[in-house]
Structure 1
Amino acid sequence: VYFNEASGGRFVPRAVLMDLEPGTMDSVRSGPYGQIFRPDNFVFGQSGAGNNWAKGHYTEGAELIDSVLDVVRKEAENCDCLQGFQVCHSLGGGTGSGMGTLLISKIREEYPDRMMLTFSVFPSPKVSDTVVEPYNGTVSVHQLVENADECMVLDNEALYDICFRTLKLATPTFGDLNHLISATMSGVTCCLRFPGQLNSDLRKLAVNLIPFPRLHFFMVGFAPLTSRGSQQYRALTVPELTQQMWDAKNMMAAS
């Protein structure tokens, strides 16, 4: 269950949003979905991590982590039967990589028997903001190997390729990339949110997908992907859909 029911039939996401600078939080708050989140669940610092993993993990992030854990604890205590945690972060910057992995390790200490699923946006050389992305990514992967149970690998290069080649978008925005990621996340968590026989919880998903405990990095494919203009003219058959699903062009991580 991803939502709590509030008064008046409103549903509030069981989400904790954290960052080391207030700017992104303000844009979420003022955006179209800002009102659905609990105001107490926005936790942010003032200084930012400056694309520095150590700042996120050891200095700025370490100062904020207790406030984040308090909010996580409150959400966990409201659960009848806590199954696990789902973390969305990027590994290229300082906050998502440094503080993200710090949060994962702290949650692992506090809830050792709960599942940890991450959606991690890995850095890629073709779509790069900063020169230190490879360092941030490398030190974060070590933490993910040790402390995460399932890790969905995403990267912007593959997402841009999908936007250009498959969706035929001339100038993809981050909104388009986020739409792809949200469709993928929705597909992956579908088995947790609706009744079914296979992979009905995070643990069963891990049992069926992971051959060795440390080998838990998954490449996610999504189908059907068609450009907006051609959707009405296509009727996919089962073999075509299966073919698309395993096609490298439909993978959310560049191989």
Structure 2
Amino acid sequence: MGSRGEIIQIHIGQAGVQIANACWELYCLEHGILSNGRLMTKPCDDSFLTFFEFSGQDPCVQPRLVMIDSEPTVIDEIRTGAYRNLFHPDTLISGKDDSGSNFARGYNLMASELLDRAMNAIRRVADRCRSLRGFLVFRAIGGGTGSGLGTRIMEKLVEDFGKKMTIIEFLVYPSPSISPVIVEPYNALLATHFSMDCADVSFIVDNEALYDICANTLNVPAPTYTNLNRILGQVVASFTATQRFSGQSNVSFQELQTNLVPYPRIHYPLINYAPLVPITNSQFVNMSTAQLTSQCFQMSTQMVRCNPAHGKYMACVLLYRGDIAPNEINTTLENIKRTKSFKFVDWSPTGFKIGVSSMPPVYVPKGDLAPASRACVAISNNTNIRIAWCRLVNKFDKLYQRRAFVYHYVGEGLEEGNFYEASENICQLVHDYLEVDATAPTSARGSDQAD
């Protein structure tokens, strides 16, 4: 297995499971794995074993994953869908009842039914790993299952596997203006509050940003969740490429955290992806390294709504894939530093970490994205992500001032004090980002003290 170790993916709730479809479809295409798990060709090395394991009959593999949902509909689609023979039935866990879009119900009732089953499945997958590196968790925090049950699973992962495992999560976050569930702000804030110390890095994705990409960039007028999830699948595939393919410069799971997170609480980086070019525009896209990198810092390629130009960068990891020469990357970064187009905090003036995987991106047939020979994911920790948290706290406070729907949560075993604590904790998070933003250069700090 080399020095890499394995990564287990955990998909929780409707959004988490639907994202699984998009991700594993791409992983299979990239590794030459058929929908029944058969390897089409002999792999050139064993790096694909980070995410896959050999199943009973050689040459078949199955994903290292567990999917969990409180009700059966979405997982049943997978049990009967095109990839039904890829996933091991023991890794698909569903309950009989939905979580009623209620964090407390997911956290208490659903967990009492499903937590043990979910953790047993995760342990079985973990026991077959030689040197488990960590977990990649996908969940939405606006509903009840991803927020409530998802938080219980996160807490239990830390309890059972210890803090030495890296836990990275993709969080689908309530959109600024589209809201299918009125209590989304409660669920999202409570989930963030309870699970903040469990995750090492959390990428926030909001559906509205994905809708904008579909409408404004990809010319998809009425996108479905499949359209949104396929964009996200492409982001995740590029984000994980250096874990799955050996390359000249890999960024390990642990290094992501080391490079991106200066203080444990400040672990919500922005994620951008390029190239985003509609399939209608071109049969094939070939962007220079400079163009790719520059597109990766435009708001139109960002997975959450906030303007990084109004904040400061603390760190940035750039993950390239395809035939990209290291000297092109160096030149591009030198230009960025020379033009000072980014405001970095003064204690991290040039915080770029680079990963390159020579494996070019692969595209789903009949998808929305034009195929390209190279791609880039930029993951940057920027202080202006606090705007996304401010929006959520404001919505939460509006509901909570009227005590709207609070009894639904108390009736499912939550204490009313938890609402206040959650709001305080996220306000403190916003404050943490403001403090980083306000760190003045040392000379200025000296003069402040004189006042």
CA shift for structure 1 position 64? 1.1
Q: Where in structure 2 are the equivalents of 1:220-231 lying within 5 Å?
A: 220-231=271-282
Structure 1 residues 28 and 54: CA distance shift in structure 2, 3 A: same
CA RMSD of superposed structures (Å): 1.3
Pairing of 1:71-150 with structure 2 (within 5 A): 71-112=121-162, 113-150=164-201
Decide whether the 8 Å contact of 1:122 with 1:154 is kept in 2: yes
Residues 179-234 of structure 1 deviation map (CA, whole Å, 9 limit, x = unaligned) = 01111111111121122354532111111111111111111100000011113375
Superposed displacement of residue 62, structure 1? 2.7
Aligned with 1:67 (options 105, 117, 130): 117
Contact 1:155 1:253 in 2 (8 A): yes
Query: Are 1:5 and 2:5 an aligned pair?
Result: no
- Corresponding position: 1:232 with 2:283: yes
Find the aligned partners of 1:100 and 1:137 in 2 and give their Cα distance. 11
Cα displacement string for residues 132-169 of structure 1 (whole angstroms, at most 9, x for unaligned residues): 11110111111332110111111100000000011011
Amino acid at match of 1:102: R
Residue pairs, 1:186-225, within 5 angstroms: 186-196=237-247, 198-225=249-276
SS in 1 for 2:93: strand
Partners of 1:155 and 1:254 within 8 A in 2: yes
Q: Could you say which residue in structure 1 is the equivalent of 2:342?
A: none
CA contact (8 A) 1:149 1:216 kept: yes
Alpha-carbon distance in structure 2 between the residues aligned to 1:105 and 1:98: 11
Q: Distance in 2 between matches of 1:248 and 1:53?
A: 31
1:153/1:217 contact within 8 Å kept: yes
Alignment partner of 2:281: what SS? Answer: helix
Match of 1:248 among 290, 299, 302: 299
Structure-1 separation of matches of 2:126 and 2:284: 46
Relative to its length, the structure with more helix (as a share) is 1
Could you tell me whether the CA contact under 8 Å between 1:199 and 1:208 is conserved in 2?
no
Q: Distance in 2 between matches of 1:54 and 1:242?
A: 42
Identify unmatched segments of 5+ residues in structure 1: none
Amino acid at match of 1:192: Q
CA distance in 1, matches of 2:149, 2:171: 13
TM-score by length of 1: 0.96
In 2, Cα distance between equivalents of 1:144 and 1:232: 43
Distance 1:199 1:94 in 2: 36
Matched positions, count: 255
CA 1:186/1:233 → structure 2, altered by over 3 Å: closer, same or farther? closer
Give the 3-state SS of the residue equivalent to 2:112 in structure 1. helix
1:155 is aligned to: 206
CA distance in 1, matches of 2:107, 2:191: 10
Task: Look up the equivalent residue of 1:140 and give its one-letter code.
Answer: A
Distance in 1 between the 2:169 and 2:271 partners? Answer: 12
Q: Distance in 2 between matches of 1:123 and 1:48?
A: 19
TM-score calculated relative to the size of structure 2: 0.55
SS in 2 for 1:124: coil
Compared CA separation, residues 233 and 194, structure 1 to 2 (3 A): closer
Corresponding residue for residue 32 of structure 1: 82
The Cα offsets for residues 59-116 of structure 1, whole Å up to 9 and x where unpaired, read as 1223210111111111111000010011110011100110011100000001111110
**Higher mean displacement: 192-201 or 27-36:** 192-201
**Farther off after superposition, 192-201 or 19-28:** 192-201
Going from structure 1 to structure 2, the CA distance change for 1:243 and 1:52 (only over 3 Å counts) comes to same
Residue type matched to 2:149 in 1? Answer: M
1:45-71 Cα offsets, whole Å, 9 max, x none, are: 111101000010011223210111111
2:43 maps to none
Alignment partners' CA distance in 1, 2:250 and 2:267? 16
Q: Secondary structure at the match of 1:87?
A: strand
